[in-house]
A and B are shown apart, each in its own frame.
Chain A
Amino acid sequence: MSVAKRTSGWSWRRHGVTTVGAILVSLVLVAAAAAPLIVPFSPYDLDVVQMLEAPSPTHWLGTDEVGRDVLSRTLYAARISIEVALVAVGVGFGVGTFLGLVAAYFGGVIDAVVMRFMELLFSFPAILLAVVLMASLGTNILNAMIAIGIIFIPGFARLARASAMDVLGQQYIEAARVIGMSDARIMFREVLPNILAPSLVEAAVAFAYAILLESALSFLGLGAQPPEPSWGNMINTGRGFMAQAPWLGLVPGFALFLCVLGFNLLGDGMRDFLDPHMKD
């Protein structure tokens, strides 16, 4: 939304998609932040009298197999998704950008070792790597955050390295050396601010992917553990009741879909916004 407001002459054609993305992301963020205030029922309270009830004025989106309110659980699940995505993207962004920057700056052996290791990580399918990491780290939500974060490291490292290589060839880096700057100072003060823009776009897209991965892990029983609600484990439960109570799987599935769509659209919009070629 702020993206749309900042530019004068807002047009649906130019900013419409970004706006939709921003609205979806805002809705998810509000749901995550204010879940305890807005949910009609506790997401944990069982109600054996009202199991698998269809949507009704009391339970807008029905109840699950032990009588918990699906709407409340779906909103609460947004919290876990956002938490996991924040930490995971933070880990990937931080470690990846650091490694890419160091590789680009020092070059030679350091560059080769770091980047070959990144390629090694890259060569595993993401979900497989996550499952292996979870298996070795143990299944809990914190480890899911770390595992997903590790998956993101190589992408951010490559991106940071490529941008840093470009920036290091600039004359202001030479000028920085000439006033006697240390290596660390050149890397973090001179280079880092100049390579962040593309990484931030990547972060928005990675955010969507992190949410999807967390759901996948929870679906497989490796992420959030019951009774903690997560879109992934809710979809998994709903799978078994597809015939009697389709809302059980459809509601969290749809929430996941809108959330991922929102972050992707926002990421695309940010790329256009930050890309000078797309400006007038």
Chain B
Amino acid sequence: MASMTSGLAPVLDIQNLTIEFPGQRVVDDVNLEVGAGEIVALIGESGSGKTLTALAILNLLPRQAHVTEGRIMLNHWPMLHLTASQRRELLGDRLAFIPQDSMRALNPMLPVGDQVGEPLVIHRSISWEAARRIAVNLLRAVHLKEPEKRIADYPHQFSGGMQQRAMIAMALALEPELIIADEPTTGLDVTVQAQVIRLLGEIRDRKGTSILFITHDLGLVSDFCDRVYVMYAGKVVEQGSVGDIFDSPRHPYTAALLAATPSALERVSELVSIAGQIPTRGEIEAGCVFAPRCPRAQPLCAEAPVESEMSPRHRVRCWYPRGPIETP
């Protein structure tokens, strides 16, 4: 596929990624690119395969899951074909991961400062003392108040938002080229969510770090991401710029998802929901995965739709895409 980012080779390039559990295809032919300094959102409901896609990049798939096809390149590193020691060298250094639940991602028995500085000790062989000094700066950069007083604290002495900041600080330690953030704001207060999102945007602006932002919350995406991939039942059904996706969603699923997102500007008497349920593993049929729930479904939808280009960087996988300015 031709590079979708402007000229430069993408930092992360996933091609034809297919992940299967025994007998079940959970991620199907996913293509995804993240350019330098770009913030890309990967949106989908639980079970859409978005997290598995991220775990495949990190080689952290559950034991039963296997990548059966595809290629994942982080710059020139083939992520699916690294030796264990090559992967150890890359992780934490060139590629950082911010997990969903920071509360459980920090070791309860170690001081936060040590954990934030640890990537430096591992990858740069600097002393613990020096690592702690850098940890103070990192924690200050993520707007933790009085970091020099907090680095000796243990995780349980931190609030949820502070723990998430600490995780972000740890991810920043070696200035990676790519940060994968898997629903980093789940379980945080709305105001804290906004702060964390702003912080990630700030990091991109300052360091030019690329970010792959995985979420099910469309509300978080619009202000801060550049491009969006929408996943449904293991497939990318639509991709485009934030403007494309939010202003003229072409795939019926994207449109339904947007319609179901409550907005502060409009008063609604009833919350909108998408009829039916996301297919469970193994239920996925041959044709369009969304057809059983799709209001526009036609007989042709029994065949798998091919991806078509709506505008230069706006692609949709649907036989009957919506018009550019239709309202949902």
Bound pair: A and B? yes
Binary interface encoding of chain B residues 253-264 relative to chain A, with 1 for a CB under 8 A from any of its CBs, else 0: 000000000000
Q: Any chain A CB within 8 A of the CB of B5?
A: no
Given A171-B101, A182-B88, does the pair A177, B109 have CB atoms closer than 8 Å? no
Pick from B91-99, B201-209, B233-241, B302-310 the stretch touching chain A: B91-99
- A190–B122 touching, CB < 8 Å: no
Give Cα A189 to B118, complex, Å. Answer: 11
Q: Any chain B CB within 8 A of the CB of A180?
A: yes
- A194–B93 touching, CB < 8 Å: no
Complex contacts, B274 vs chain A, CB 8 Å: none
Q: Which of A178, A180, A182, A193 has a CB less than 8 Å from the CB of B110?
A: A193
Q: Any chain A CB within 8 A of the CB of B126?
A: no
Give Cα A279 to B122, complex, Å. Answer: 37
Complex contacts, A171 vs chain B, CB 8 Å: 99, 101, 104-105
Closest to A181 in B: B122
- A180–B93 touching, CB < 8 Å: yes
Complex contacts, B101 vs chain A, CB 8 Å: 171
Closest to B93 in A: A180
- A179–B90 touching, CB < 8 Å: no
Q: Which of B91, B106, B118, B170 has a CB less than 8 Å from the CB of A177?
A: B91
Give Cα A146 to B113, complex, Å. Answer: 41
Give Cα A177 to B108, complex, Å. Answer: 16
Give Cα A238 to B109, complex, Å. Answer: 50
Q: Which of B109, B110, B170 has a CB less than 8 Å from the CB of A179?
A: B170
Binary interface encoding of chain B residues 31-69 relative to chain A, with 1 for a CB under 8 A from any of its CBs, else 0: 000000000000000000000000000101000000000
Q: Which of B105, B108, B122 has a CB less than 8 Å from the CB of A180?
A: B122
Binary interface encoding of chain A residues 173-208 relative to chain B, with 1 for a CB under 8 A from any of its CBs, else 0: 011111111100100011001100000000000000
Give Cα A175 to B104, complex, Å. Answer: 9
Q: Which of B105, B109, B167 has a CB less than 8 Å from the CB of A193?
A: B109
Q: Any chain A CB within 8 A of the CB of B107?
A: yes
- B91–A178 touching, CB < 8 Å: yes
Complex contacts, B91 vs chain A, CB 8 Å: 177-180
Complex contacts, B60 vs chain A, CB 8 Å: 174, 177-178
Q: Any chain A CB within 8 A of the CB of B76?
A: no
Q: Any chain B CB within 8 A of the CB of A124?
A: no
CB proximity of A204 to chain B, nearest CB, Å: 20
Is chain A's binding surface mostly helix, strand, loop or mixed? helix
- B105–A172 touching, CB < 8 Å: yes
Q: Any chain B CB within 8 A of the CB of A170?
A: yes
Closest to B104 in A: A171
Q: Any chain A CB within 8 A of the CB of B119?
A: yes
Q: Any chain A CB within 8 A of the CB of B247?
A: no
Q: Which of A170, A174, A180, A185 has the most CB of B within 10 A?
A: A180
Q: Which of A170, A179, A190 has the most CB of B within 10 A?
A: A179
Give Cα A170 to B99, complex, Å. Answer: 12
Complex contacts, B107 vs chain A, CB 8 Å: 172, 176, 190, 193-194
Closest to A178 in B: B97
Q: Any chain A CB within 8 A of the CB of B198?
A: no
Complex contacts, A189 vs chain B, CB 8 Å: 110
- B99–A174 touching, CB < 8 Å: yes
Given A171-B99, A171-B101, A185-B122, does the pair A178, B92 have CB atoms closer than 8 Å? yes
Q: Which of B58, B88, B97, B104 has a CB less than 8 Å from the CB of A172?
A: B104
- B106–A179 touching, CB < 8 Å: no
Closest to B100 in A: A171
Closest to B103 in A: A171
Closest to B105 in A: A175
- A180–B88 touching, CB < 8 Å: yes
20 pairs, CB–CB < 8 Å, chain A vs chain B: A170-B104, A171-B104, A172-B107, A174-B99, A176-B107, A177-B91, A178-B60, A178-B92, A178-B96, A178-B99, A179-B91, A179-B118, A179-B170, A180-B91, A181-B88, A181-B118, A185-B122, A193-B109, A193-B110, A194-B108
List 7 A-B pairs, minimum CB-CB distance, nearest first: A179-B92, A180-B92, A193-B109, A180-B91, A171-B104, A175-B105, A178-B97
Interface residues, chain A, with chain B CB atoms under 8 Å away: 170-172, 174-182, 185, 189-190, 193-194
In the complex, given contacts A174-B60, A189-B110, what are 8 additional A-B residue pairs having Cβ atoms less than 8 angstroms apart? Answer: A172-B105, A175-B105, A177-B60, A179-B119, A180-B92, A181-B92, A185-B122, A190-B110
